[in-house]
Amino acid sequence: MKSAVENLSPTRVKLTVEVPSEELQPHVDAALKSIGSQIQVPGFRAGKVPARIIEQRVGKGAVIQEAVNEALPEFFGKAVDETGVEPIGQPEVDITEVPMTDGEELKFTVEVDVRPEVTLPDYDGVEISVDNLEVTDEDVEAKLTELRERFGTLVGVDRAAATGDFVSIDLKATIDGEDVDAVEGVSYEIGSGNMLEGLDDALVGMSTGETKDFSAPLAGGDKAGQSADCTVTVQSVKERELPEVDDDFAQMASEFDTADELRADLAKQAEQSKKFEQGIQARDKVLDHLLSNTEIPLPEGIIEAEVNQHLEQEGRLEDDEHRAEVDESTRSTLKTQFLLDALAKAEEIEVGQPELVEYLIMQSQQYGMDPNQFAQLLDQQGQVESMVSEVARRKALAAALDKAKIVDADGNAINLDDIVPEGERTGDVEELADDEAETAEAEGTDEQA
């Protein structure tokens, strides 16, 4: 078999493949056997019909067509190996010559998007500046408020609902008069924003027993993204009462005996949070540095297919404004993936089973699933390779971050090892390299990339 590659663009190639008759013959024999087992010819047992009789019955063209269809993936794979291209997306095959007589070659071409070549900038020792570490009284109070809220109690109030209140609501959504979904007695914190868009605005000012209509795009289901007519009824309004901060509270809520000791510990926690924020900022700036200094051509065909799939799932194919947003997000995600894949290759990143298991457990917790069931689901959907790639990307970004020189706004060097307290470290700065945005917007794209 002979193959040649022609670069149509930095992200698309055309493969020309020529297959000698002797290499195609095993596939022709297999096609004859398959067809022979499906036809009945008087005088011959099933599966024992001679080849010339089969060709007379179904036509040689049908035999060759089945042979070629079965053989194309194998020959395409060989051509990819010979030429060294890295295909992504769906190949477009054009059969140019079909061997209808003995000795003729099978000839075909394949156009396919390929992974672009990425030349990384020098990132060893690159200086990254982050904000100064400043812990304010407000930061400590915020930590204290979080702790008090955990031990707060909900008390019914006879007034209009306000942001921060907890309400029990009935909620119904319809589209064109047809019921889409309905729930009753759901507890919801006003301002949390984790239900329907516009629900928070509708609830503010409502009292027990009141009903209000509003419109909102649905967040899930087969009609996700479509605008629905929603009706919300408030069954009750409650506010959270927070406990006083005193020694009794300190003893109840922590291992400390006094409120002063508790505040001192919360100050340390606030400082550690600020350090982690510095690490996140450093990670993002390292990634931005790499992206802004790297030319990465993008495969337009894959972007268009991904955008159309996304909009079709939302039922918003004609929404040009949203299309532009999805297009921009897809380009950003794909560019980041290509960059981190190149970085992983440059750093010779390998993914071990313990790292894969750790990432799998973390992801299963986010989806509220048992890790074993989550692993089986990934395997069934063919997503294991994508998960391995994601872990490799995290490790690659962590490696780049580890080589950078991190300083604060005053020029003081920052040691990233200080970000994770001793005894909680995983041996690297990989926790800082976990960027959920890289996969959240890339659903579907990552499979093709």
Domains and CATH numbers, the chain: 2-113 (3.30.70.1050), 153-241 (3.10.50.40), 259-434 (1.10.3120)
Cβ-based neighbours of 254, under 8 Å, separated by 6 or more = 147, 262, 265
Q: Is 68 exposed, middle or buried (0-12, 13-18, 19+ CB in 10 A)?
A: buried
Query: What pLDDT is stored for residue 432 in this prediction?
Result: 56
pLDDT of res. 431: 53
Structure tokens at 307: 């955008």
Q: Rounded to 5 degrees, what are φ and ψ at 231? A: -130, 125
DSSP string, 5-27: EEEEETTEEEEEEEE-HHHHHHH
Residue 407: which of 128, 124, 123 has the closest Cα?
Answer: 128
pLDDT number for residue 17: 97
| CB distance 312 to 25 below 8 Å | no
Q: Which of 422, 421, 429 is nearest to 403 (CA)?
A: 429
Q: Indicate the SS3 state at residue 405.
A: strand
* DSSP code of residue 401: H
Half-sphere exposure of 35 (CA within 13 A, CB side): 25
Whether the CB-CB separation of 396 and 405 falls below 8 Å is answered with: no
Question: Closest by alpha carbon to 228, among 197, 185, 203?
Answer: 197
| Rounded Cα distance, 18 and 106, in Å | 6
The pLDDT, as a whole number, for residue 440 is: 36
Ranges of the chain whose pLDDT falls below 70: 43, 45-47, 419-449
Half-sphere exposure of 43 (CA within 13 A, CB side): 2
Contact (CB, 8 A) for 63 and 35:
yes
In terms of phi and psi (left: phi > 0; alpha: psi -120 to 50; beta: otherwise), the region of 382 is left
| Alpha carbon separation from 445 to 8, 70, 372, 395 (Å, rounded) | 22, 27, 25, 20
What's the predicted TM-score (pTM) here? 0.75
Helix 60-83 vs helix 21-36: crossing angle, to nearest 10? 130
- In this structure, are residues 98 and 64 in contact, taking their beta carbons and an 8 Å threshold? yes
Q: What local confidence, expressed as pLDDT, does residue 436 receive?
A: 39
For the sheet with 87-97, list strands across it.
2-9, 12-19, 106-114, 87-97
Q: Do residues 183 and 257 touch, judged by C-beta distance below 8 A?
A: no
Residue 420 confidence (pLDDT): 53
